[in-house]
């Protein structure tokens, strides 16, 4: 699953959640275990696309926006981190997390 690939989606570098297969998860950002009970899928999607709309000081990268970026790594120059479909897939998965996972 893309969201659990730290070198692709980057999510688990900062976020933790109910992902026992990931040995080391980040603690810089909110735990995602119940994000689906806190936010709608539209709110989740918007935060993935560009969280700066909600928090201008966020350290979360804009996964689908290229506007206003500085010091972009060569891998992401002239492209977004994720595709629209990848954002949708991750948002759908996160919307399913309501805190009752084992």
Whether residue 90 contacts residue 82, with contact meaning beta carbons closer than 8 Å, is answered with yes
**More reliable by pLDDT, 81 or 7:** 81
Return the closest-CA partner of residue 44 out of 98, 80, 4: 98
Which CATH number do you get for residue 66?
A: 1.10.760.10
Domain range enclosing 82: 2-95
Higher pLDDT, 76 or 37: 37
Nearest-10 Cα torsion for 6, 68, 53, 31: 20
What is this structure's pTM?
A: 0.85
Is the residue at 88 inside a domain? Answer: yes
The pLDDT value recorded for residue 6 is 66
Q: What is the pLDDT of residues 21-70, one digit of tens each?
A: 888 889 999 999 999 999 999 999 999 999 999 999 998 988 888 777 77
Is there a domain that residue 48 lies in? yes
The verdict on residue 70 lying in a domain is yes
Q: How big is the chain, counted in residues? A: 102
Q: Is residue 102 part of a domain?
A: no
The verdict on residue 17 lying in a domain is yes
The structural domain count of the chain equals 1
Structural domain contains residue 101 = no
79: confidence class by pLDDT, cuts 50, 70, 90 = confident
- Looking at residue 68, what is its pLDDT? 78
């Amino acid at each position: 699953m893309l969201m659990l690939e730290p070198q692709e989606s980057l999510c688990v570098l900062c976020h933790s959640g109910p992902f026992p297969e990931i040995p080391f998860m980040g603690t810089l950002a909110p735990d995602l275990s119940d994000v689906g009970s806190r936010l709608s899928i539209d709110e989740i999607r918007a935060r993935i696309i560009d969280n700066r709309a909600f928090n201008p000081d966020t350290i979360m990268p804009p996964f689908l926006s290229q506007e206003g970026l500085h010091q972009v790594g060569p891998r992401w120059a002239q492209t977004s981190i994720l595709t629209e479909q990848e954002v949708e897939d991750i948002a759908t998965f996160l919307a399913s997390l309501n805190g009752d996972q084992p």
